[in-house]
Amino acid sequence: MGAPTDRRAVLHVVTDPRRRGSQAFAHDLDAALRDRGRASSIVALAGSGEMDIPLLGPGRLHPSTLRALRRRASGAGVVIAHGSTTLDACGIALAGTRTPFVYVNIGDPRHWARDPLRRARVGLLLRRSAAIASVSPTGRQILLDTYRLAPARVRAIPNGRRPERFPPPDATDRAKARAELGLPVDATVLIVVGALAVEKRVALAIEAFALLAAGAGAGSGSGSGEMAELPPCHLLVAGEGPERAALESLAERRAPGRITFTGNLADLGPVYRAGDVLVLSSTSEGVPGVLVEAGLTAIPAAATDVGFVRDVVVDGVTGALAEVGPGPGDPAPLVAAIRRVLADRDAMGQAARARCLERHTMETVVDAWTALLDEQCR
């Protein structure tokens, strides 16, 4: 016999224990639900990473992994599948059981609809879920239009973070963080936070930084007058991934001595406190948690206009957007976006914090999740 079912208990499923956006949100939501007195636990399908999350098996869709997921889910009232392969895993493992699952869609759903067969397969799996939560209202509408889902089954619940973990720094905090990370105290510090993977296109951020740094002392037009000369610039890259060696080599060629790589950090607080502008150069995104974390810290962003980035970055208000094509891309639009942000950094930073406090605090997000979970557990 399986474990007795707690009808209000929640089991979170992530793909692997890497410290990435969906995993970080699942970890925070798990903790927030437990803080509210709800039984909640988290597991990863397979893989390795920095987060202390139990693994179910040797592969994401390995038969033993799916059997373990089915057993774990039997003691829960509802399962939350956090993005990516968790849709396939829960759609297969929970078929024929009485345990409902809610799928969290974090990216652009059109990615799965590139051919009719794949669109049909994904549509079938989505219909097996009890409900779907998109991190963006735009994403919700795309799901409805692309997969012909019942509107009542698809919610828009934003990405959330705890504001107390990302307080805006004062001058002393900033100087301390920069000293801790080995950064020049008086430099303009740009930060890149995320996996060093192809889709994050960090090479584009490095190329943009190199162009910016080369002209940092010369001043540049900002579209509304001449921008003041910049002090020396430094780029901080926080993250790990398969592209790291190539990126370090590029950094040494393009801006020697002016780019620091930290690898993965257990605490990103010092990175945000040290930064002046967050640079996001991805080819695709959902609603990146790093934008919310930076915004809460009152750091504006210069970002490529992809996915649902606009949910956080309001062009000219909380940051600046760059229209960059596919592939390696031309760094000039990103350079222009960075300069626009630096010309009005303080005002944009305060606007970013206000927007994130209004839309992306964990308490507000947990309220919405609690309402959805209560519906599924009746």
What CATH number did the domain enclosing 289 receive? 3.40.50.2000
**CA dist., res. 81 & res. 186, Å (int):** 44
Q: What is the pLDDT of residue 227?
A: 45
Q: How far apart are CA 190 and CA 92, in angstroms?
A: 44
Q: Is residue 110 part of a domain?
A: yes
Residues 264 and 352 grouped into a single domain: yes
In this structure, the answer to whether residues 339 and 192 fall within a common structural domain is: yes
Q: Going residue by residue through the chain, which has 378 residues, state the pLDDT in tens, using 9 for 90 and above.
A: 455 567 889 999 999 998 888 898 999 999 999 999 999 999 999 999 889 999 999 999 999 999 999 999 999 999 999 988 999 999 999 999 999 999 999 888 887 778 889 899 999 999 999 999 999 999 999 999 999 999 999 999 999 999 999 999 999 999 999 999 999 999 999 999 999 999 999 999 999 999 999 885 444 444 444 444 566 899 999 999 999 999 999 999 999 999 999 999 989 999 999 999 999 999 988 899 999 999 999 999 999 999 899 999 999 999 999 998 777 889 999 999 999 999 999 999 999 999 999 999 999 999 999 999 999 976
Which structural domain range is residue 325 located in? 163-359
Please give the pLDDT value at position 219: 43
Same domain for 266 and 180: yes
On whether both 145 and 285 belong to a single domain, the answer is no
176/140 same-domain check: no
Q: Is 370 a member of any domain? A: yes
**Shared domain check, 131 and 32:** yes
Q: Do 183 and 317 fall into the same domain?
A: yes
Say if residues 183 and 189 touch (Cβ distance below 8 Å).
yes
Residues 273 and 177 grouped into a single domain:
yes
Following CA atoms 36, 41, 44, 50 in sequence, which dihedral angle do they give, to the nearest 10 degrees? 60
Same domain, 174 and 211: yes
Find the helix or strand (DSSP H, E) in which 319 lies. Answer: strand 319-322
Give the chain's domain count. 2
Rounded to the nearest 10°, the torsion over CA 178, 180, 183, 189 is: -40
- Say yes or no: 294 and 315 in one domain: yes
Task: Give a yes or no: residue 1 inside a domain.
Answer: no
Whole-angstrom Cα distance, residue 192 to residue 275? 9
The answer to whether residues 214 and 293 belong to one domain is yes
> pTM for the whole thing?
0.87
Nearest to 39 by CA among 87, 68, 1, 3: 3
Same domain, 186 and 331: yes
Query: What is the three-class DSSP state of 359?
Result: helix
The pLDDT value given to residue 20: 85
Q: What is the pLDDT of residue 229?
A: 57
